[in-house]
Structure 1
Amino acid sequence: MASRTVTKDLITLKGSAAIVGEFFGYATNSILYNRGIYPEESFTKVKKYGLPMLLIQEGGVKSYLSALTAQISEWLEKGSLQRIVLVIMSKATSEVLERWNFSVETDGEVVETGASREKSDKEIMREIQVIMRQIASCVTYLPCLDEPCVFDVLVYTDKDMAVPLTWMESDAKLIHNPQMVKLHSFDTKIHKVNTLVSFKNDDWDEK
């Protein structure tokens, strides 16, 4: 009689933290590319999530994002990360033009007990694919950034969490009366990431 082997796709806390940290790294690169924060020639094309993705090669930014995603993964493993916000500002005036908000919901039971959850890698990848496609098409719904811009990353953690010395306290860098677009979310069954972009809309200011 024929037999078959069946396996379950189990996600651990460490594995989930790595998935979310990596996602944020690729999402940030995609936003920086699609919003024209750095010139096109600063990026190299790779394949990830079944899609062509772009990664910045500018040394300082590349090492900054690498250290950032490693720290994010560490906080995710401890269940202490609440939200990550990528802020795009005018280089000349520091006015905040866009806020890409990635809020994180964590399964507290997994953090406490070390239990694993069941979800296939393919399903997670499909959910991430949708978000990456939405980021890539952001030029269709976001105002044109017609001036040189810079970016910053704000990370919201539990208050009792130790913060590296190289990090600084910051204000929330909010936008007055922003417009908002909610993107899709993805869920590893341990961490759920909800994505929202808010942006300055000059049309509203004129009313």
Structure 2
Amino acid sequence: MASRTVAKDIITLRGSAAIVSEFFVIMVFYSILYNRGVYPEESFAKVKKYGLPMLLTQDEGVKSFITNLTAQLSEWLEAGKLQRVVMVIVSKATNEVLERWNFSIETDSDVVEKGVSREKSDREIMREIQAIMRQIASSITYLPCLDEPCVFDVLAYTDTDVAVPFTWIESDPKLIANPQMVKLHSFDTKIHKVDTLVSYKNDEWDEQ
């Protein structure tokens, strides 16, 4: 009688943390920096990730910043201590926050506390991530044009018992007054669920 071998798609805490931190860094931060024109187009190089063409910055300062960021986010994710990651785009001239990309994180406490694993196929996770990345790529159709030099910053919301690393400083939430908001797709590894929301400056309200 013929037989076949099947395997379950097991997701561990460490594996989930790696997926989510890579999502933030490669999928999100680089994609937003490119699509929102924070850095010039010629400073990006093409790669393929999660079945999608991506553009990664070649700016050494940004690459170093994001490499260190990845390591810290992974540590907090594995400990179940990371509640939210926020990327803000700020006017270089006025320091005004123009856009606020908010990624809320829910962590399965049983996995953190008891060391259990979950099941979900890589293919399904990839499809969910691809949907978010396509939304970010199309964001230029509804977000206001950033027609001035901008910089970016990353905020992390952690549990209160987390010690602040010496390379980080405590910050205000960098909110936008009376913003427009657009909710994007979410994705879920069965251990970490990430919900995405972008807020941006409402110029029409300002003109009233």
Shared fold per TM-score greater than 0.5: yes
- SS of the aligned residue for 2:94 comes to coil
| Deviation sequence 1:111-147 (CA, Å, 0-9, x none) | 0011000000000000000000000111001000010
Separation in 1 of the partners of 2:164 and 2:132? 29
1:184 corresponds to:
185
Show structure 2 runs of 5+ residues with no match.
none
CA RMSD in angstroms comes to 0.5
Letter in 2 for 1:9: D
Give the C-alpha shift of residue 178 in structure 1. Answer: 0.2
Give the C-alpha shift of residue 75 in structure 1. Answer: 0.2
2:3 corresponds to:
3
Matched, 1:21 2:53: no
Letter in 2 for 1:20: V
Of 8-17 and 160-169, deviating more is: 160-169
1:94 corresponds to:
95
Letter in 2 for 1:137: S
Letter in 1 for 2:158: T
Give the C-alpha shift of residue 6 in structure 1. Answer: 1.1
Give the C-alpha shift of residue 70 in structure 1. Answer: 1.2
1:47 corresponds to:
48
1:198 corresponds to:
199
Letter in 2 for 1:22: E
5 Å-filtered alignment, 1:147-166, equals 147-166=148-167
2:134 corresponds to:
133
Letter in 2 for 1:205: D
Separation in 2 of the partners of 1:158 and 1:69? 18
Give the C-alpha shift of residue 9 in structure 1. Answer: 0.1
TM-score after normalising by structure 2: 0.99
Separation in 1 of the partners of 2:67 and 2:198? 23
| Deviation sequence 1:45-87 (CA, Å, 0-9, x none) | 1000100011111001001001101110110000000000000
What is the aligned-residue identity percentage? 78
Letter in 1 for 2:139: C
TM-score after normalising by structure 1: 0.99
1:64 corresponds to:
65
- SS of the aligned residue for 1:193 comes to strand
2:123 corresponds to:
122
| Deviation sequence 1:168-195 (CA, Å, 0-9, x none) | 0100100000000000000000000000
Show structure 1 runs of 5+ residues with no match.
none
Question: How many equivalent pairs are there?
Answer: 207
2:76 corresponds to:
75
Matched, 1:38 2:43: no
Give the C-alpha shift of residue 163 in structure 1. Answer: 2.1
Runs of 4+ in 1 over 6 A off after TM superposition: none
- SS of the aligned residue for 1:142 comes to coil
Separation in 2 of the partners of 1:5 and 1:11? 19
